[in-house]
Amino acid sequence: MALMRCVSSFAATVKGRPHVVNVGQLIEDTDPLYVGRERHFETASATAGNPPRVEQATAAPGERRTTSRPRKTKGGETDA
């Protein structure tokens, strides 16, 4: 019994119930969602040293973020 990580999202119906499996979701290789859909998975140990990249949403303490705002025109409307 191995732990498998989904590498491409998919939807499937198992025993009459719909399921959605997202990238990064972990399931066991004995799960009915895995059987017959092996191409969507890789072993979880293969990605243990490679966590998925996630964009940082906020600045760290002391870090400056630059933002650009749309220029205002003479009429007070933004230039988009």
Q: What are phi and psi of 3, to 5 degrees?
A: -95, 130
pLDDT digits (tens, 9 = 90+) for 9-62: 999 999 999 999 999 899 999 999 998 999 999 988 755 566 666 777 777 888
pLDDT at residue number 17: 94
Residue 80 has pLDDT above 60, yes or no: no
Domain ranges, ordered by start, for the chain = 3-47
* 6 band by pLDDT with thresholds 50, 70 and 90: very high
The better pLDDT of the pair 66, 44 is held by: 44
Q: What are phi and psi of 76, to 5 degrees?
A: 90, 0
